[in-house]
Amino acid sequence: MRKIRDLLTGKIENIRRERISNTTLLMTITVCTFFGMYLLAMAIWKGGFLNPQQFLDLFNNNAYLLIIACGLTMVMISGGIDISGGGITALVTMVCVVYLEDHGGTVLGSLLISLGIGIAFGLVHGILVAYFDIQPFIVTLAGMFFARGMITIVSIAPRTASQEAFLKLKQARITLPGIGYYGKNGNFIPAQIEPGVVVAVAVVIIVAVLLKWTRFGRNLYAIGGNSHSALTLGINVKRTKFFAYLIAGLLSGIGGYVYLLHTGAGDAANAAQAEMQAIASNIIGGTLLTGGVGNVIGTLFGMLSLKTITNIVIASGLTKPYYQSITTGLMLCFFILLQSLILAVREKGRVKLLPDWMRLRKTNRTESQ
């Protein structure tokens, strides 16, 4: 009755406050964890963590990963997966270096080549997944194998770019005004970022806008949530999926060029396991592999958390490489379990930590059986 009265008096909005969506909730947790972790590290280890350059180096060293992960976010929201990112990145670096060195290429030409490679992979993946209805895991796995194999066909030995125009672009740094640190002599050293970081941040903003405010972005969420309902609502499921893979491929190509700008070398071992790190960034950032839930801002903070934990492990004196991957595994485990619990609580309203047979007190359902 009160509901009707409120409805009549126009106070309906005050009864039920809108629930926070899964996407926003998972993203908020990631952002809070990252800031908590970083502030804790600043308080305990001080030193490098107080240096703004070390924070910016997270971006400098991982700009390519961020770009690949953004493409992957779109694919994962649509309910698919793309594990070819690392392979395409490595292929782009090798082809561009060989083009610059052996064929007298220009910077613009190499940029176009990297975009072309990315689009070509994305096109094939998109057609095979969307229109031929083949499992995305297999398609992109074959894409990864193909890219990794092609690198050694292009050149077996690792190559380094030495073209002047390219080196100029590679060594370009953007100085951030007002941010910096004091060196040992007391002189002020301003913080710097690489051009790749600007590209990465631009990609994050563009993808975020695309997902939030365009029809294509909303269609992606609809498809990932339930592709049958999306189809009955009149959404072109196949075309939307196709474009998701196309954009993911394109972003992998851009990521490859950014990687090249960072290292300046083409090598078959480049960007090893970048695809798995990208998936891990997405998971920590709250994107679910089942689709329909996720946010590119979460991916950004997922990547930052993943790399910050490595820095913390090194800072705390555990310098052996295996500690880093074990800690990464533990962190993934923590986030995966946390998300699973949160979603379970939100769906059922109660936590199911133990299976029924492990409980001391039987639940109602087992009693009734």
Partner 1 sequence: MGDGIKKFMRSQLVIPLFSLFLLVIFNLLRDPEFFSISLATNNQGYRVLSGNLISIFNGAAAIAIISIGMTLITSCCKGQDISVAAVAAIAGSVFVSVLRSHEITIPVIILAFLLSCLVSVLFSLFNGVLVAVFKIQPMIATLILFSAGRSIAYWINGGATPTVSSDFLASIGGFIPGIPIPTPIIIMVVFLVLISIVLRLTTLGLYTQVVGINEGTAHLNGINPVWVKLIAFIISGVCVATAGCITVCRIGLINHETLLLDAEMDVILAVAIGGTSLGGGKFSLFGSVIGAYIIQALTVTLYAMKVPSAAVKAYKAAVIILIVIISSPVVKEFFINLYKKLFKKQVDAKIPIKAS
Distance CA 352, CA 355 (A): 7
The partner residues of 193 in beta bridges, in order of sequence, read 174
The yes or no reply on residue 272 touching partner 1 (CB under 8 A) is no
Q: How many residues bind partner 1 (CB under 8 A)?
A: 48
**Complex with partner 1: residue 234 or 355, whichever CB lies closer:** 355
**What Rg, from alpha-carbon coordinates, does the chain have?**
23
Q: Which amino acid is at 265?
A: A
Number of other residues whose CB lies within 10 A of the CB of residue 122? 28
The yes or no reply on residue 330 touching partner 1 (CB under 8 A) is yes
Window of 29-37, 112-120, 191-199, 281-289 that interacts with partner 1 by CB under 8 A:
281-289
The yes or no reply on residue 344 touching partner 1 (CB under 8 A) is yes
Name the nearest CA neighbour of 312 among 302, 326, 327, 297.
327
**Complex with partner 1: residue 159 or 170, whichever CB lies closer:** 159
The yes or no reply on residue 360 touching partner 1 (CB under 8 A) is no
Longest dimension (CA), the chain: 81
Distance CA 90, CA 150 (A): 10
Choose, by CB under 8 A, the member of 34, 63, 114, 148 that binds partner 1: 148
Beta carbons within 8 Å of 269's beta carbon, 6+ residues apart: 90, 158
Beta carbons within 8 Å of 179's beta carbon, 6+ residues apart: 52, 190, 191
The yes or no reply on residue 241 touching partner 1 (CB under 8 A) is no
Distance CA 15, CA 342 (A): 24
Window of 7-15, 178-186, 200-208, 321-329 that interacts with partner 1 by CB under 8 A:
321-329
Window of 99-107, 150-158, 168-176, 191-199 that interacts with partner 1 by CB under 8 A:
150-158
The yes or no reply on residue 36 touching partner 1 (CB under 8 A) is no
- List contacts with partner 1 (CB under 8 A): 81, 128, 131-135, 137-139, 141-146, 148-150, 152-153, 156, 268, 276, 279-280, 283, 288-290, 320-326, 328-330, 332-333, 336-337, 340-341, 344, 355
